[in-house]
């Protein structure tokens, strides 16, 4: 896996497109999970939950806040106030020095980033 990343490292890290794609994919996964948990929380009732209700409420709240924030990180410019807030608090920082596990998890984002690069899509430059 690391050989794959090293092969595309220069292409992947020339701007923030990989971070944007990874944030968008993670946000697109976390938000529906939060909505499904909220739906289950409201339809099944508190007494039938497999966990204490404060833990379930906290999980739903975290997922419903973090998911859209990650999606916003993928589409907003860093020059906007909301974009700079999202970059500070909703950026997947482990992408800068990835290990084998991270590469395995982020393989769809890496593949999509390489495909977007080949199609001519550019991210925002990393140097301010």
Range of the domain at 55: 2-118
Radius of gyration of the chain (CA): 17
What's the confidence (pLDDT) of residue 99? Answer: 61
For residue 28, the SS3 value is helix
Tell me whether residue 86 is in a domain: yes
| Tokens read off for 42 | 């409201």
Most confident of 27-31, 85-89, 109-113, 124-128: 27-31
Domain count for the chain, please give it: 1
- Residues 59-72 pLDDT 10s: 899 999 988 988 88
Cα separation, 128 vs 121, in Å, equals 20
What pTM, to 2 d.p., does this model score? 0.74
- Residues 70-91 pLDDT 10s: 888 888 887 888 877 777 776 6
Residues 6+ apart with CB under 8 A from 13: none
Tell me whether residue 43 is in a domain: yes
Tell me whether residue 126 is in a domain: no
Q: Which tops the pLDDT comparison, 100 or 53?
A: 53
């Amino acid at each position: 896996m690391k050989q794959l990343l090293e092969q595309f490292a220069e292409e992947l890290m020339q701007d923030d497109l990989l971070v944007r794609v990874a944030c968008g994919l993670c946000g697109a996964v976390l938000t529906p999970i939060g909505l499904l948990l909220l739906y289950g929380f409201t339809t099944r009732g508190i007494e039938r939950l497999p966990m204490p209700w404060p833990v379930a409420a906290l999980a739903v709240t975290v997922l419903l806040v973090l998911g859209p924030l990650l999606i916003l990180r993928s589409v907003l410019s860093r020059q906007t106030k909301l974009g700079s807030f999202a970059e500070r608090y909703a950026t997947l920082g482990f992408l800068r020095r990835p290990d084998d596990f991270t590469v395995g998890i982020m393989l769809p984002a890496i593949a999509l980033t390489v495909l977007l690069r080949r199609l001519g899509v550019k991210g925002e430059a990393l140097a301010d």
